[in-house]
Structures are given as C-alpha cells and as structure tokens.
Amino acid sequence: MRVLLSSYFTNGLSVAFGYLLITGGLHAWLGQVASASAGVGVIVASICDQPWPRRGKFRQMLPGPLLALPLFLGVQHLRDHPWELGLLLVPATFVAFLGMAWGKRGIPIAMAVVLAMIFAMAAPGTADWRVAVERSAWFALGAALYVVYAVLANLVLNARYRTLSMVDLLLAMASLMRTQALQFEPIDPLGDVREVPASVQGRLLAAQAALADQLQSTRDLVLESPRTPRRQRLAGMLLAILELRDHLVASELDLETLRSDPAQAPVLRTLRALFDEMARETEAIADALLRGRVPPPQTDHSAPLDALGHDASQPMLLRGLVNRLTHLNDELLALNRLARGEQAPNLAAVRASWQLFVSPTSWSLAPFLTLWRWDAPPLRHAIRAALAVATGYAIAVLMPWGSHEYWILLSIVVVLRGSLAQTLERRNSRVAGTLVGCVVALLVLANLHAPYELLVTVTIAQAISHGFAARRYLIASIGATVLGLIQAHTLNNGLHGGVAPEFAMFERIADTLIGAGVAWAFAFVLPSWERFQLSGLVRRVLVAQARHARLALALKPLHDIGSADDLAWRLARREAFDSLSALVLATQRSLVEPRAVRPPLTELEALQMHCYQFLAQMSAIKGMLVLRRDWLTPAEVEPALAQAGARIEQILQGETGTDAERPTSTTSTTSTTSTTSTTSTAPTMVSTAAPAPTTTQATTVPETPAAANTPGPSPSLPSTGIASLPDPFERNLAPWLVRRLALAERLAEQISEDAQRVQSLVRQRD
C-alpha cells in the first residue's frame, strides 16, 4: 500500500495519464504516424516531470525539450548516414552530460536530451528534410503539450505531493528510530564487543544520510507558500521532525557506559522496546496521512519515564538519558497533535523558514563555469559517457544487427553513472529487467495488434518505468524495456517491423549485454574515485561542525524563533548534518571500488562516527540552553560556553595550540574516556579494513561510570567524577553543562585527529 500510494508511483501514474491523453488524442485526430512521433516528445519531456514545488515547475520542464528538439531533427536527417550520425551523437552526448553539473536538477535534462537522439534512431531514416521537419514538428507538439500538462498536473497534485513527501520523511524517521533502538541492546560480556556496535553504527549513519536527503526534498515542497491551514500544519510537522531528530541524536549519549554494565540490561531492554513503540507510532502517523485519515492518538510515555528518571536508586547517567528520552516523547506527542489538528503550528517559525530553507528554482551559470578543471567529476563523466557512446555506436554499426544500434546506446546511457557503485547496480538491474521485459514485450506483440491496445500497454509501461526509476530500478527497467520495444515498433509503423518477434527478443538481449558491458568497462575510464573528492568533503565537514558549534553554544534568547541568531543556527545545523551525510554516502559508494583506489575506510568511519557523537553533544547542550534555560545561571555558564566555543572552533580549524594554552574551567566535570579503540566506535562498512591502532594514553586511563559516549583514544578529562555532579532533575544544570562542553572538546580533538589522518593517507595514496 505504501508503494501504490507513494509519491513516486503517484507521479508515474500522472505521467502515464498525460501520455495516454496526448498520444491518444493525437492518434484520433492526426493518425498513428503523428501520434508515434509526438509520443517520443511526451516521453522525453516527462523525464523531467518529478514532484516539484509549484514555483519554478515550468522552468524545470522547459530546457529538456528545447535542447532535445534540434538533436531529434538532426538524427532524423542523418539516420541513413552512419558515420555522420556518429559525429553528431558523440559531441552531443558530451554536451548533454555536462548538465549533470547542476546535480539532481540537471540529471533529468541530460537524460532527456540523450534519449531524444536514441529514440530518433528507432524511427526509419529519411533524406527528405520535409519529412524530418514534419516528424520533429510532431515531436515538438507532443513535448509542448506535455509541458503544459505537467505544470497543470503539478498544480492539481501539489497538495498530495506535500502530504506524500511528509509521509516519506516520517517513514525515514521511523527507520532511523528503529536503528537507534538497536543501540540500547546490552553488550554481551562473553561476546565480541566490537562487531555488534560497529555494525549498528554503520546502519545508523546510513539511516541519518537517508533522512538528510529526504529532508531537503520535503523542505522544498512543504515550505513553499504555507498560506493555508493545511500547509501550515505540514510545515509545523516538518519543524517538529527537525527537533525530534535533535533529541534522537542526543539520546545516544552515555549509552556505551550503560550498555557495558550488566546491571542496566533490563532497563535498557525496556528503553529499546519504548523506542520501537515510538517508531511504530511514527509509522502510524505516516500511514494515516497516506490514506487521508486522522492519525490515532499518541501514547504518552512520560509516566514510566518520569518514574524511572526520578528513581534515586538508578545511576545518574541513566537518569540523564531518561530525561532526554522524555524530551523525545514530548516532541513526538507534539508531532501527533499537529497531525491530528489538535495543536496549532508555530507560524513564526514557519514564516521564517519559508524561503530560507528551500532550494533555488532559478538556473545559474555558476556550475557550468566552475566545472572546467580536469578533476571535476561532471566533466570527467561527460568525457567518459561520450567515449562510451562512441565505442558502443561503432560496435553497433559493425554488428550484423546494426539496424537496432539504438538499443545498445540506450543500455549505455541508462547504466553508466557517475560512480562505479551506481554503475554496477544499474548494470545488474538493467540486464535482469531487459530479460523479463523482452518476454513481456514478446507476449504483448504476439497477442495485441490494435493501435489502441498497444497504446494502453505503452501507457502502463510508462507509469512503471517513470514511477520506479528513482526507487527500484529493476522494476523500472522492465517497464522501460516494454516501453522502448513497443514504441520502436510504433515508430516503424508496423507490428513487427519486418523482423520476427522471437529474433528481435534475442537481439535486444544481446544488445543489452553489449551496452551494459561497454558501460561497465568505461566506468574505469577517467574514473572519479571517491577519494578524489574526500579532501573537499572532509574540509566541508570540519567547517560545518565548527560553525554549528559556535552558534549552538551562543547563550542568546531564542524565544523569537524568527530572529537572525536562531535562523543562522538552524542553517548551520542543516549544513552540519548535510555535510556529514555527503561524506557517509561517498564512503558507502567507495566500498565497491578496486581495493587499490579505495580511501582509508577505517579512518573515515571513525571520523564519521565521532562527528555524529559531536552532533549528539551539541544537541544535548542546545537542549539544556533552550528547554532548561531557567535551570542555568548565565553568569555561571557564559564563560564556560565562550571558552568551549572558541576552543572547539580553533581545534576544528586546525589552530589547536599546545596543552598549556588550553583553557580550563573551575567547575567540576567528569573524568576519563572510553578505552574502546577507534574501530569499536566506527561503523564496520567493510570487513577487510584493518583496525585503527590505539594509543598508549588511551589504554592507561581507567574506566569509570563517567565515560559516557566519549571516543577513544583521547586524554582524560579533568574532573572529580560523576558522583560529584548534582541530580540531573534538580534545578542546577551548570555542572552537567560544563561536563558536556568538556566532552565536546575531546570529540573535537578526535575529529581533528581523524581528519588529519584521513587527509594524510589520501595524500600518500595519491
């Protein structure tokens, strides 16, 4: 049900309906030839049709058909001149793939331009310019009609897209909560204490990256013009999820110490069950929105949490953890009340976030002007794609079934991606999908003969191929194979095109294998290995973490949520999570690269995990400053905040100084760090990675209940221990705040060391 009602499948159905409406109408009005050429224009234009904000939808849809039209005309005219056609295909492919410099916005346009040329090759060639112009006119008519349809359909479906985008975000949050729940599993003292936590940390980082990616897509839709009560409610839910993420991140603190204590196992299992229940309740909100229903009331878990938190017999670290889970429960209750319409959204926050946190919709020349350097991934990918198309086309022309060379090129352009990981995934899905799709197309062509029967079949295939292209490419490849084969027969104005369907089926399979093989081979030509961009990604992470820490530690009033200080902090928080997610995704993609060119995975994983722990400390500190502000005395904590902020910024910017220069605090804090090595706190993403060496300093520090979630190795903290801290539920949080600041400083030092180690190893391999 989630798939059938999802945003991507809804978008696929919208595209298919537009295809049926336009091509069916033109078929009844102008005939099959005009309808077939117009259908290609519809398919090309529809590639750019994705759930999009209303503002800028026309600007997003227009470039693809405009750039594709002259190339469609040129291929039509040169169809019977193989080598002249090749001289058009190769440079046009290069220019089209340069569009990927614009990222997610540019990829559909690049694919639309290239597929326009490939579909033009499926039609019979003509030396008569008038025939080529006529076909191109039908192509332009179909594309123009679909652009108008897409803009109108996006207006009609905009409200639904907003809701479905929020559903996707809630499901991503529930997935993160389930992964976070695994952190509460007690450590088996007889088992391997390194493997289980590490694997969970890897999944946790992946879930965080998926949530960050979905967050920006949801921001673009939900935060656009939130003028109506329903839009404002969805925008309020989005802001509540951002706060929920902060509390979720902070809930990881102190777990390592508590998990290693066998006496805490029953409580931790209870908290894990509570996390799973919260995840189910988050999914219930998503499913209710998906079906257009009011979500069920949220269960309030504050009573058992309060009982546990105020139990003086429990360790104070556990009581502090329970306190953070209470904030998580409160935020989830607020989210549920917003979804049910029982709580009004914070309109000040919604208005402040309206245009500040959404992606720009205007086109800029900056990406094009900055890609002209040899190590730029878009430039290298454009060259790689052009060479692959040239090779595939040369092979196709020289093969006995060269009349269907467009199928080889189609396989190349849909399989060849910017990274080896994506190319391998596409290659396997493309081959498997073609095998199944050829069988389906064979059955269709053998049993359906009427033009409208084929039109309905192509419409269904269009819905499947477009709807699943970005989510489940194997299913999309099946639909695309059926779509391409039947569309090619329609363009040739014949049922079988003079070739037996059985032979055509095996021919398509052979062409697919050739195209997928060429794409896989050229993935190693001018490769953009992930380690090439690591230095920039690591620098981005350090800058983002330093800026976020500086703004998060500023003790300023946040009652005016639209103030400049608050918005600056929220922007910094977004960049801190986004930059870390970009580094996580790059590390994951590098796992399938050849061993000789892989980046230092163990060190990268340690850096990512320490950054995540640092964000957890910042979230906990910010929670104290915002939610428990009246429990703090500004005169007492302002010096510690200022010193810690300056120190952390210096550390992350590489200006660490000496130990003697390090500021100290007069307020007591806890001591010691975990003796766990870097490998034990980093996600195990690859089994071949060697463990990072521990330092002598780390192993000489005694383990105490105050270890919290601090990384090893690092020097011990100047403190008298956890026992000297006041009860976390008393109105004196200053010692706890200073303790968090000290732990954050240690994590900043570890992040700096990790970054230097990664940069050094990358330079050595280069």
Question: Per mean pLDDT, which range of 318-327, 332-341, 450-459, 701-710 is the poorest?
Answer: 701-710
pLDDT classification of 724: cutoffs 50, 70, 90 = low
Q: Do 153 and 249 share a domain, yes or no?
A: no
Q: Is 594 exposed, middle or buried (0-12, 13-18, 19+ CB in 10 A)?
A: exposed
Give the model's pLDDT for residue 491: 67
pLDDT confidence of residue 707: 34
What is the predicted pLDDT for the residue at 678?
A: 33
483, 505, 528: which is the final residue of a domain?
528
Burial class (CB in 10 A: 0-12, 13-18, 19+), 192: exposed
- Arithmetic mean of pLDDT, 516-526: 91
Question: String of b and e for 567-580 (b: at least 16 CB within 10 Å)?
Answer: bebbbbbbbbbbbb
User: Residues 601-638, buried b or exposed e (16+ Cβ, 10 A)?
Assistant: bbbbbbbbbbbbbbbbbbbbbbbbbeebeebbeeeebe
718 band by pLDDT with thresholds 50, 70 and 90: very low
- CA nearest to 709, candidates 269, 255, 324, 343: 255
Residue 476 has pLDDT above 70, yes or no: yes
* Assigned token pair, 363: 């086109």
Residue 23 placed within a domain = yes
Angle (CA) 261-697-610 rounded to 5° is 65
> Across residues 8-19, what is the average pLDDT?
92
Amino acid making up residue 117: M
Peptide bond into 713 cis (omega under 30): yes
Do 165 and 7 touch, CB atoms closer than 8 A?
A: yes
Residues 255 and 322 in one domain: yes
Question: Quick one: which of 100, 637, 121, 76 has its CA closest to 382?
Answer: 100
**93-102 tens-digit pLDDT:** 999 999 988 8
Residue (of 508, 516, 531) closest to 424 by Cα position: 516
Task: State the pLDDT at residue 469.
Answer: 82
Whether the Cβ atoms of residue 90 and residue 390 lie closer than 8 Å to each other = yes
What pLDDT, on the 0 to 100 scale, is given for residue 594?
87
DSSP class of 182: G
Q: 396 phi and psi, to 5 degrees? A: -65, -40
Output the six-digit token pair for 119.
Answer: 């579909």
Q: Identify the three-state secondary structure at position 342.
A: coil
The residue segments making up the domain with residue 714 are 530-685+696-765
Q: How far from chain centre, in Å, is Cα 592? A: 19
How many Cα atoms occupy the beta-carbon half-sphere of 528 within 13 Å?
A: 24
Stated length of the chain: 766
Amino acid making up residue 454? L
Residue 97: how many CB atoms within 10 A of its CB? 27
- What band does 669 get if pLDDT is binned at 50, 70 and 90? very low
Q: Is 56 helix (H, G, I), strand (E, B) or coil?
A: coil
- For residues 737-758, b (16+ Cβ closer than 10 Å) or e, as one string? bbbbbbbbbbbbbbbbbbbebb
Claim to verify: residue 464 and residue 498 sit in the same structural domain? yes
Which distant-in-sequence residues (6+ apart) come within 8 Å of 228 by Cβ? none
Question: Regarding predicted confidence, which is higher, 670 or 63?
Answer: 63
- Of 694 and 390, which is predicted with more confidence? 390
The mean per-residue pLDDT over the stretch 306-311 comes to 81
Map tokens 């929220």 to a residue: 570
Give the residue from 699, 684, 734 showing the smallest Cα distance to 193.
684
DSSP string for 560-593: STTSHHHHHHHHHHHHHHHHHHHHHHHHHHGGGS
Domain count, the chain: 4
Our measurement of the distance from residue 218's CA atom to the centroid of its chain's CA atoms, rounded to an integer in Å, reads: 12
- Same structural domain, 240 and 338: yes
Model confidence at 145: pLDDT above 90: yes
The verdict on residue 359 lying in a domain is no
Rounded to the nearest 10 degrees, the angle between the axes of helix 265-291 and helix 129-181 is 150
Do 18 and 109 share a domain, yes or no? yes
Q: Is residue 369 part of a domain?
A: no
Listing DSSP states for 83-127 in one string gives HHHHHHHHHHHHHHHGGGGGGGGHHHHHHHHHHHHHHHHHSPP-S
Distance CA 489, CA 436 (A): 18
> What percentage of the chain exceeds 70 in pLDDT?
83
Kindly calculate the radius of gyration of the chain based on its CA atoms and give it in whole angstroms.
Answer: 29
Closest CA to 433 of 415, 448, 417: 415
Which of 528, 560, 581 is a domain's end point? Answer: 528
The DSSP output letter for 183 is G
- pLDDT bin (cut points 50, 70, 90) of residue 722 is low
Angle of helix 106-122 versus helix 82-97 axis, rounded to 10:
170
Measured at the CA of 47, the angle between CA 96 and CA 574, to 5 degrees, comes to 85
Tokens describing residue 528: 């953009």
Summarize the confidence of residues 261-269 as an average pLDDT.
87
| pLDDT confidence band for 317 (50 / 70 / 90) | confident
Q: Tell me, what's the pLDDT at 683? A: 34
Q: Is the pTM of this model over 0.85?
A: no
Dihedral sign computed on CA atoms, order 396, 400, 402, 406: negative
Local confidence band at 355 (pLDDT 50, 70, 90 cut-offs): low
CA distance 489 to 497: 6
Any domain includes 171: no
Residues 6+ away with beta carbon under 8 Å from 576: 544, 545, 547, 548, 615, 618
Is residue 358 assigned to a domain? no
Residue 515 covered by a domain: yes
pLDDT tens-digit series, residues 249-262: 888 888 888 888 88
Across the range 589-602, mean pLDDT stands at 88
For the chain, how many helices (H) and strands (E)?
28, 0
Predicted confidence at residue 634, as pLDDT, reads: 72
**How far apart are alpha carbons 669 and 744 in whole angstroms?**
12
From 352-366, 460-474, 581-595, 606-620, the region with the lowest mean pLDDT: 352-366
- What's residue 751's pLDDT? 95
Q: Return the pLDDT at 402.
A: 55
Which 3 state secondary structure label does DSSP give 529?
coil
Q: Phi and psi (nearest 5°) for 417?
A: -115, 180
User: Which residue's structure tokens are 């300023």?
Assistant: 556
The pLDDT assigned to 689 comes to 34
Whether 561 and 660 map to the same domain: the answer is yes
pLDDT tens, 210-247? 898 899 889 889 988 888 899 999 999 998 998 899 88
Q: What are 63-83's pLDDT values in tens digits?
A: 999 999 999 999 988 888 888
| Cβ neighbours of 68 (radius 10 Å) | 29
Residues 235 and 260 grouped into a single domain: yes
Rounded to the nearest 10°, the torsion over CA 406, 411, 415, 416 is: -40
Are residues 244 and 155 part of one domain? no
Cβ contacts of 377 within 8 Å, gap of 6 or more? 418, 528, 532, 533
What is the pLDDT at residue 156? 95
Report the pLDDT value the prediction gives residue 189, as an integer from 0 to 100: 56
Same domain, 583 and 475: no
Query: Looking at the structure, do residues 534 and 665 belong to the same domain, yes or no?
Result: yes
326 & 437 share domain: no
In this structure, which amino acid lies at residue 681? T
| Residue 363 in domain | no
pLDDT value at residue 323: 84
- Residue 444: its pLDDT value, please? 84
What's the whole-number mean pLDDT along residues 650-662? 57
List, for residues 370-379, the tens digit of each pLDDT value: 888 888 889 9
Q: Do residues 40 and 139 both lie within one domain? A: yes
Indicate the residue type of 221. Answer: L
Average pLDDT, the chain: 81
- Distance from chain centroid for Cα 337: 28
407-466 pLDDT, tens digit per residue, is: 889 889 988 988 888 888 888 888 888 888 888 888 887 787 777 888 888 889 989 988
Domain end among 508, 528, 548? 528
Residue 168 lies in a domain: no
d(CA 165, CA 289): 10
Quick one: how far is CA 81 from the chain centroid?
A: 43
